[in-house]
Amino acid sequence: MTEKEKCAAGLLYDANYDKELIHERIACKDLCLEYNHLKNSDAENRDRLIRQILGETKERICIEPNFWCDYGYNIKVGENFYANHNLTILDCAEVKFGDNVFIGPNCNFYTAGHPLDAKQRNEGLEYARPINIGDNVWLGGNVVVLPGVSIGNNAVIGAGSVVTKDIPDYAVAVGNPCRVIKNVEENLKSY
């Protein structure tokens, strides 16, 4: 089994020293660098290049520079997707964004995790767990989403939150660690 196959299976794999994975990350980061250096007025090339980087996209997407990811092909982006400046996605596993997702500046999505055992970490081993973001989700600035987390449809994640566990549909969640503080539907009824 290759290291890439181990990663896809959710097993510990060698991310630091495997030549195939290193090559894929370098190629992706070269594309990200090129994307980040395009003028904002060069919409045609920005659109072409972001679609080359990402694994799957819908029609209307906008990712402001700077944008960084590890592989790109593990990222799926829905319709009407917007990410503000300084988005980082460590996409060792799949990262899926639904339709109408809005992401504030300086947000980070990490599918990679590392063993607690120092010997395994020092060998370059890690694991990857997918992240799933539902439809109509808004994530405020400086949000961090950790490996294996799902955020439900119509959820709002407050600025500065560190999302360590799943967030249900219609939740407003904030903090470090992020926790649900109210329900969007109940809040709308009060208006």
Active site residues: 114
Q: Which residues contact 33 (CB under 8 A, 6 or more apart)?
A: none
- Dmax of the chain from CA atoms? 56
Tokens read off for 38: 């395009």
Q: Check: CB of residue 146 under 8 Å from CB of residue 132.
A: no
- Exposed e or buried b per residue across 74-90, where buried means at least 16 C-beta atoms within 10 angstroms of its C-beta: bbbbbebbebbebbbbb
Helix%, strand%, coil% for the chain, nearest 5: 25, 30, 45
> Coil, helix or strand for 21?
helix
Element (H, E) at 44: helix 43-53
Peptide bond into 40 cis (omega under 30): no
Q: How far apart are CA 131 and CA 169, in angstroms?
A: 15
